[in-house]
Amino acid sequence: MTDLAAMSAQLYARGWMEGTAGNLSVRLDADTALVTASGVSKGSLTSDDTVRVRIADAQPVESDGKRPSAETSIHTALYQIFPDCGAVVHAHPPYATAVAALAARRGADAEEFVGLEIIKGLGATDKVLIPVFENHADVPRIGSDVAARLTPDAPPALLIGAHGATTWGPTLETARNRMECLEMLCRLRLLIERNA
């Protein structure tokens, strides 16, 4: 799908999907999603570098040798929790990743952002509480944690300790915009704390 390839190239160019890190997906229908393949540079991703997966179990619909992204279980958990979710972005923007790492060090299960205008980009007005999940080498465990903890009224963003960030929305563009807003919130947080 050309939208996934174009969006991957944009996020790679920003330095948010270094190497082969990061992944995107779009919901195809009630039962399946298209996710970027594992081990492919997001700077040179093509429409052939995707895998159709079942939302119910994060497994490929067909076996053509390509593996779906390691974080596929996070994507499919979000599609299950949020029926209106049409796309997911998982990336490693530096400020969001730094805030996620600091949260992990403190053992925080959420990061609260208050009084910043950009909060509106995540659907809040004056404050937003972004869930923080523990990172695991066994990535499907992160997906299980997301499925067990998030509720349909959660904000459209989450952090994974010392790992990265995930955002979602009805479209790929909305999910990307929310990643941009989350990154700005985290950047402002670090700047404010540094100068406090």
Binding site feature residues for Zn(2+): 90, 92
How far is Cα 160 from Cα 92, in angstroms, rounded to an integer?
10
The b/e string for 129-159 (b: 16+ C-beta within 10 A; e otherwise) is ebbbbebeeebbebbebbeeebeeebbbbbb
Place of tokens 């992204």: 69
Q: Which residues contact 171 (CB under 8 A, 6 or more apart)?
A: 86, 87
Instruction: Indicate the annotated binding residues.
Output: 90, 92
How far is Cα 9 from Cα 16, in angstroms, rounded to an integer?
10
